Amino acid sequence: MVNELAYIPAILFMVFVAPIWVIMHYRSKNRKESGISEAEHERLQELLKVANSLLERVETLESILDQETPEWRKKHAR
């Protein structure tokens, strides 16, 4: 009788606690993986800065070309 009572907590754990624990574990793991990491966010910010500086350079070059050769856009229109 005492030996049978020892199985009750294990059975309750396996039926109620373990499934909830596993579900919550994978739910939190999935949430972590769905977003970008801190390192990826920093790299994205660096790339954004580079893209903005390149955009400024292109705009500067276009303004210089507009001043020196006003017809350049017509020659190189797509």
Q: Which two tokens stand for residue 32?
A: 């972590």
Q: What are the structure tokens assigned to 6, written together?
A: 């020892």
Task: Locate the domains of the chain by residue range.
Answer: 1-35, 37-78
The model's pLDDT over 6-25, given as tens digits with 9 standing for 90+, comes to: 788 888 888 989 999 999 99
Segment 33-74, tens digit of pLDDT: 777 778 888 999 999 999 999 999 999 999 999 999 888 888
